[in-house]
Amino acid sequence: MKIINIVVSILVIFVSAAVAGILIYLRPEMTIPIIIIYLSALLMLTISNCLIGIFNARKKSAIEADDFMKVMEDLNTEFILWTDDLSFIRMNKRIRDLMDIGDDDGFDHKEALKKAFGLNDLDNKSFKLIATGGSHEATFKNSSDKVISIAWSTTLVKKVKKRSLYISTGFNFTEIKKMRVNLASANDFFNSSMELAEIGVIMSTDKKKYAASSETVRMFGLKTNNIDISMFRSLIHPNDRMQFDRAVNQNDETDSDVKSIELRIRSAIGTSYRWYSFRYKSIAATDNTLPLFGGALLDITQEREKDMLIERLAYIDEVTEIANRNKLMDIGQETYECSRLLNYSYWIIVLDIDRFHIINDTCGYDTGNRILKDFAHILYKFVSPGGLAARISGDNFALVLRDYGDDELPIRTAKTIQDELAKLAVDDLASITLSCSAGFSKMPDDGQSFLDVMEHAEFALKSVNGQQSTICGYEPSMHDSIIGNTELEKSLALAISNNELQLFYQPKIDLKTGKIMGVEALIRWIKPDGTIIKPDAFVPIAESSHLIGKISEFVLNEGCRQNRMWQKMGFPNIVMSINFTSSDFYQNDLKERVLDALAISGLESKWLEVELTETLALSDIDYAVDQMNKLRDLGVKLAMDDFGTGYSSLSYLQILPITLLKLDRSFITDIQNDNIAFEIVSAVISIAKSKKIKTIAEGIENHEQEEILKKAGCDYGQGYLYGKPMPAEELEELMRNFL
């Protein structure tokens, strides 16, 4: 081989390597085809140099092209030697095997060449094009229908008279092509999964330019997959941009934990912002890879809205829209601690609208609610900085006022409130005189905690029970005078010993099957003359004395006995629910008492349910959870009664081990017309469901309410529609018809 050929070859090798390098740099995604072409070109160069040598030597040694083919026959590359007039065509074994043809002699060479180059026609033009085109991609099927893809590189070897001899070397890229298809479908699979899960993904190596997944493009109505960080940032709510910047610019690249923030981002639909959870992560650079920053975006607007509803339900009173008991307790305790620390003091005034239930009964709930709202409005006017007005329950309100050394302030304030309330009555409810009573105490002097101080204000209020328009400050000596001194308490004590207490039972219905699944035991005091006294009239009095313990003992034992009796009588098993007050519940021997009642009656624990109110659980949450767990360990069911009455909090569902949630009657009464009540009930049901807690609606009085609750997914129902509280015998009669 001439020296010039060697120099030219070396030059060609270096120049083409440089060109390939530049091309790979500019178009990294074309790396594989560029390498293929480069390697093929190298092979071609070597072979053509070889051929030139052979042809040059031909004269001397008379070696034919056929001799060269012998050399190429077993080469590990597809190889064809051909002239442009197609009079000479030779193919090596490798390409013949691919096309499933035998010896080099026994086949139609032109047809085979046409097939190898993937051509439809045998015209010379096509071959010329291949000869001059340099590289050519061909696809053909072999005899077993397998698709073969070959990249051919063709070079002119020599002109012999009018004919030109070409050499084509092939690169079989069938497998690579399949891989490419697989990669493309993996990408499609990824994009479709993200689309189905509605998760957008953004990735970047420099934190400036981001590659956005097709779902991200759809979510935010982007124009392209390649997005600029500043453009994406402009879609984020101004108040959330700092958070996003902090996430993107986190300096510790070695921290590979997944982190999460919540952002408002303008969505593709309309101009409104939606809430997204942005889970992001940095992957540090390695020797072979660039650092990577990426994140997934998930629309959480619905969950956020639910949270807001829960927050509202937890802290704002629905009727009056002022703080509820929860908020009062939270802020009150903080204020109590500050007052101790900073030597401030506060007045706590607890107010109760006199005979409010009469207004409710005579004028209806709408009027009652309006009065509550107006009353809250009056209270609000007295709130000074650091103070608070809240509705504690029903017609009970609290006012927290900063004390500036004026001991007359609580009385003066309560009097002004009474005057304003009276005016309200004159204006709107001419026939009814509205008044309120107040009890007050001082913080931190009057108690060990905010709750303590507030209970003492309530104590002062109760001490004047029955008398209207009274205002009374707390005195520690009050405890002695209240307990054991009322007439009612005396006769109640007598009633207990005379067995005048009786349990009535109200059925609970499984809304899916329409069958009775349980009963609630509700106590009645039946006087010797037959008058029935409802629990509201005597349970609170019993609660403020030791009598409640006796009552609860009776209810627990009688409830268990009766349920076991029904089982023995052959009625299907149902759950017996009994009501507990906080003084029963916080007894140290609660577990033993329940265990005794079950043992004496022979009732299995799963047929007993204890109903607790939220106030009860709230007063000492840790101890309450402890007591509840003791009952749960026994296998006794736990229901949260009157849920939603103003100081309930859905967040307690996380900690309280309850099995049933009783939606308070106030939500059900007007659920047909009251959209807010419906929304709250639906949200509570779905949240309870997610926590595997069953739900029951109290106070269902008609089929319309029943239908709405069924649709909302409520499990059970209780109310006059199915039966009022009734004596055991009546319930047996009902069970016979119902079950």
Q: How far from chain centre, in Å, is Cα 433?
A: 50
- In the complex with ligand C2E, the residue whose CB is nearer, 539 or 660, is 539
Residue 536 binding ligand C2E, by CB under 6 A: yes
CB 528 within 8 A of CB 578: no
Nearer to ligand C2E, 313 or 501 (CB): 501
Give yes or no for residue 118 binding ligand C2E (CB under 6 A).
no
Task: Spell out the long-range contacts of 361-364 with Cβ–Cβ below 8 A and sequence spacing 24 or more.
Answer: 362/432, 363/429, 363/432
- Is residue 457 within the footprint of ligand C2E (CB under 6 A)? no
Cβ atoms 167, 81 nearer than 8 A? yes
**Which does residue 591 touch among Mg ion, ligand C2E, none (CB within 5 to 8 A, set by kind)?**
none
Instruction: State the nearest-atom distance from the C-beta of 716 to Mg ion, in Å.
Output: 13
Does residue 28 contact residue 135 with C-beta atoms inside 8 Å? no
Closest CA to 116 of 168, 173, 41, 40: 168
The CB-nearest residue to ligand C2E is 719
**Which pairs with CB-CB distance under 8 Å and at least 24 residues apart come from 675-683?**
676/318, 678/708, 678/712, 679/309, 680/309, 680/313, 680/318, 680/644, 681/644, 681/709, 681/712, 681/714, 682/712, 682/713, 683/306, 683/309, 683/310, 683/313
Q: Is there binding between residue 295 and ligand C2E (CB under 6 A)?
A: no
Give the binding range for ligand C2E (CB under 6 A) out of 90-98, 356-364, 415-423, 717-725.
Answer: 717-725
- Residue 43 vs 681, nearer CB to ligand C2E: 681
Tokens standing for 255?
Answer: 């921290």
Partner in contact with 315, chosen from ligand C2E, Mg ion, none, beta carbon below 5 to 8 Å by kind: none
Q: Rule CB under 6 A: say whether 535 interacts with ligand C2E.
A: yes
Closest approach of Cβ 639 to Mg ion, in Å? 7
Question: Pick from 297, 392, 471, 539: which binds ligand C2E (CB under 6 A)?
Answer: 539
**Positions in 674-693 near ligand C2E (CB under 6 A):** none
Nearer to Mg ion, 38 or 607 (CB): 607
Contact 249, 217 (CB under 8 A): no
Instruction: Say which amino acid occupies 598.
Output: L
Instruction: For the CB of residue 649, give the shortest distance to ligand C2E in the complex, in Å.
Output: 18
Q: Which of 91, 328, 434, 522 binds ligand C2E (CB under 6 A)?
A: 522
Two structure tokens written together for 243: 């958070």
How would you class 304 by CB atoms within 10 Å of its CB: exposed for 0-12, middle for 13-18, buried for 19 or more? middle
DSSP β-bridge partners for residue 736: none
Q: How many residues bind Mg ion (CB under 5 A)?
A: 5
The nearest distance, CB 699 to Mg ion, in angstroms, is 8
Number of H helices, E strands in the chain: 29, 25
Least CB distance to ligand C2E at residue 611 (A): 6
Measure the N-to-C terminal CA separation of the chain; round to a whole number of Å.
107
Measured from the CB atom, the residue of 33 and 535 that comes closer to Mg ion is: 535
How is residue 177 written in tokens? 């092509």
Residues 430-465, buried b or exposed e (16+ Cβ, 10 A)?
eebebebbbbbbbbbebbeebbebbbbbbbbbbbbe
Measured over the CA atoms of residue 113, residue 118, residue 123 and residue 128, the dihedral's sign is: negative
Nearest to 99 by CA among 81, 87, 111: 111
The answer to whether 579 contacts Mg ion (rule: CB under 5 A) is: yes
Q: In the complex with ligand C2E, which residue's Cβ is closer, 306 or 665?
A: 665
User: If binding is defined by CB under 6 A, does position 555 make contact with ligand C2E?
Assistant: yes
Nearest-approach distance from CB 522 to Mg ion, in angstroms: 7
Q: Report the partner that residue 84 touches, choosing among ligand C2E, Mg ion, none (CB closer than 5 to 8 A by kind).
A: none
Tell me which H or E stretch contains 190: helix 174-196
Q: Kindly state the smallest distance separating residue 716's Cβ from ligand C2E, in Å.
A: 13
Beta-sheet pairing, 292-299 with 273-283: antiparallel
Residues in CB range of 711: below 8 A, 6 or more apart:
none
Residue 642 found at the interface with Mg ion (CB under 5 A): yes
- For ligand C2E, what does the binding mask look like between residues 562 and 591, x meaning CB under 6 A? -----------------xxx----------
CB of 578 to ligand C2E, least distance (A): 6
Using CB under 6 A, count the residues that bind ligand C2E. Answer: 23
Pick out residues in 168-207 that bind Mg ion (CB under 5 A).
none
**DSSP conformational letter for 216:** H
Nearer to ligand C2E, 374 or 706 (CB): 706
Burial of 713 (0-12, 13-18, 19+ CB in 10 A): middle
Residue 523 within binding range of ligand C2E, rule CB under 6 A: yes
The answer to whether residue 394 forms part of the interface with ligand C2E (CB under 6 A) is no
- Rounded Cα distance between 495 and 514, Å, is 38
Residue from 534, 606, 703, 711 in contact with ligand C2E (CB under 6 A): 534
Per-residue binding string, Mg ion, 660-699, x by CB under 5 A, is --------------------------------------x-
Instruction: Rule CB under 6 A: say whether 701 interacts with ligand C2E.
Output: yes
Contact flag: residue 699 with ligand C2E (CB under 6 A):
yes
- Interface residues with Mg ion (CB under 5 A) are 579, 611, 641-642, 698
- Interface residues with ligand C2E (CB under 6 A) are 506, 522-523, 534-536, 539, 555, 579-581, 611, 641-642, 665, 698-701, 718-720, 725
